[in-house]
Amino acid sequence: MSILGDLMGKVFGTAAAEAATAAPSASAPPASAPPASAPAASSKAAAPVDYAAVLDAMNEKMPQDLDWRNSIVDLMKVLGMDSSLPARKLLAHELNYHGNVNDSASMNMWMHQQIMVKFAANGGHM
């Protein structure tokens, strides 16, 4: 699984992570069977995840207080993921970051914002 898929899976579960990171070709087969895919999509939308509560609960178990709401590094640490620069560069690539990956501050802020957008787009709410 990708870094993005792993991150999403730790918050939303494996099925949501696969849906969030699926390639456009993966959504072509369900189009041939709309009755089966429509209820599944609506049931996912009907069961939102309070990702803030999930992450806050994980943060409470950490030996240090991490600022996952503002830092991609801390978000990855709360989720038990590798938050090293190489791992973040891979995540940036998965998120289609087109900026300078050597400007880690700008890259980190952009990635954090993108992850928060993905959380919301996948039924997450604060």
Give the tens place of pLDDT for each residue, 26-44.
333 333 333 343 334 444 4
For residue 50, report the phi and psi dihedrals to the nearest 5 degrees. Answer: -85, 85
Structure tokens at 107: 């890259």
Domain boundaries, the chain: 3-125
Give pLDDT, residue 7: 94
Which DSSP helix (H) or strand (E) runs through 124? strand 124-125
Give pLDDT, residue 16: 52
The identity of residue 14, as a single letter, is: T
Asked whether the beta carbons of 89 and 72 are under 8 A apart, the reply is: no
Q: Which residues of the chain have pLDDT under 50?
A: 23-46
Q: Which residues of 105-120 are buried (b: 16+ CB within 10 A; e: fewer)?
A: eebbebbbebbbebbe
